[in-house]
């Protein structure tokens, strides 16, 4: 996958496990020099405020570490419930599936790579 | 509860009480509530709503109440089937119920959506709490 990390959540996580995932992932973003994180939640049959908050934290932390996060595969019933719960996941990019999520990350990165030339910065040595 | 015509015609199909003492229990409560909702014939969205509400309330019992129990009741009121969940703890209780029900208000580190969100996800909601005595939250969802 090169510079993107793919995380597939496949179990009904208890809260401590969710916290561990958050910490591990932050470490991996740094060690793998990842520019993008894809979190596949298609196996999750519910997302409550705790998991929603974890996804928000991951997105915020990866942004600080110069990586983009996309959450993919949310089930329709989960989305309906989340909105009614009062959680609209602000600041989190979503895509229908892994493929579309990858496209989003690639496009985000291309834009990023073009920016220096667009704004007439002298490109750093690569 | 006697003398209430609503409860008089209501039949209890099944009941069970489960502990809420660890975060693994919270997961088990979610799974149990899901299984009961499926058994009662709830649709996918209704299942997800009551499971999510249960998860929020179970976590409240654990974090704010220091642990407690949940009672599950499968009901039939003659017309519809329903699932009633009663979460109970003997923790410090809630001193300001109105504030506790407000979106975004939390005395902990959460998002403050637990109680208000659980209420929105349920057809019935009842909160009783007294400082020093504990908290009891009852929710029900009907098919």
CATH number at residue A60: 3.30.750.24
Inside any domain, residue A118: no
Query: How far is Cα A60 from Cα A70, in angstroms, rounded to an integer?
Result: 11
Inside any domain, residue A122: no
Contact criterion met (CB < 8 Å) for A78 and B116: no
- B90 SS3 class: coil
Judged against a pLDDT cut of 90, whether residue B123 lies above it is answered with yes
Contact criterion met (CB < 8 Å) for A46 and B27: no
State the smallest CA–CA distance between residue B4 and chain A in angstroms.
31
Judged against a pLDDT cut of 90, whether residue B113 lies above it is answered with no
Query: How far is Cα A69 from Cα A33, in angstroms, rounded to an integer?
Result: 14
Closest-approach residue (CA) in chain A for B57 = A48
Judged against a pLDDT cut of 60, whether residue A1 lies above it is answered with no
Query: How far is Cα B122 from Cα B106, in angstroms, rounded to an integer?
Result: 20
Token pair belonging to A68: 């983009």
What pLDDT, on a 0 to 100 scale, did the predictor assign at position A108?
86
What pLDDT, on a 0 to 100 scale, did the predictor assign at position B2?
47
Inside any domain, residue A62: yes
Inside any domain, residue A50: yes
pLDDT tens, A63-109?
999 999 999 999 999 999 999 999 988 889 999 999 999 999 999 88
Say yes or no: A16 contacts chain B, CB-CB below 8 A. Answer: yes
pLDDT tens, B4-61?
555 558 899 999 999 999 999 999 999 999 999 999 999 999 999 999 999 999 999 9
| Contacting residues of A for B59, CB less than 8 Å apart | 15, 48, 50
Considering only the top CATH level, what class is B13-142? Answer: alpha beta
ipTM of the complex: 0.88
Token pair belonging to B112: 């403050």
Option in B26, B52, B111 nearest A53 (CB): B111
Domain coverage including residue A37: 4-100
Q: How many domains does chain A have?
A: 1
- B66 SS3 class: coil
Query: How far is Cα A48 from Cα A14, in angstroms, rounded to an integer?
Result: 11
Inside any domain, residue A110: no
State the smallest CA–CA distance between residue A103 and chain B in angstroms.
29
- B14 SS3 class: strand
Inside any domain, residue A105: no
Query: How far is Cα B37 from Cα B11, in angstroms, rounded to an integer?
Result: 17
pTM: 0.88
């Amino acid at each position: 996958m090169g510079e993107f990390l793919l995380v597939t959540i496949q179990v009904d996580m208890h809260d401590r496990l969710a916290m561990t995932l958050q910490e591990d992932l932050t470490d991996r973003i740094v060690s793998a020099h990842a520019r993008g994180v894809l979190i596949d939640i298609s196996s999750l049959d519910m997302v409550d405020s705790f998991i929603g908050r974890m996804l928000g934290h991951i997105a915020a932390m990866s942004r600080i570490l110069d990586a983009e996060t996309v959450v993919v595969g949310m089930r329709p019933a989960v989305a309906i419930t989340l909105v009614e719960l009062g959680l609209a996941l602000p600041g989190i990019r979503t895509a229908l599936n892994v493929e579309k999520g990858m496209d989003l990350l690639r496009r985000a990165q291309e834009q990023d790579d073009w920016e220096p030339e667009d704004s007439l910065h002298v490109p750093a040595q690569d | 509860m006697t003398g209430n015509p609503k409860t008089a015609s209501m039949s209890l199909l099944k009941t069970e009480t489960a502990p809420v003492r660890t975060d693994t229990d919270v997961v088990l409560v979610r799974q149990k509530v899901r299984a009961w909702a499926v058994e009662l014939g709830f649709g996918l969205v209704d299942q997800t709503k009551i499971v999510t509400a249960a998860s929020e309330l179970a976590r409240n019992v654990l974090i704010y109440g220091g642990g407690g129990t949940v009672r599950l009741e499968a009901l039939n009121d003659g017309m519809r089937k329903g699932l009633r969940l009663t979460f109970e703890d003997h923790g410090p209780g809630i001193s300001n119920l109105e504030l506790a029900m407000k979106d975004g208000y939390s005395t902990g580190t959460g998002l403050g959506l637990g109680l208000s969100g659980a209420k929105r996800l349920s057809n019935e909601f009842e909160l009783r709490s007294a400082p020093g005595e504990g908290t009891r939250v009852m929710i029900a969802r009907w098919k």
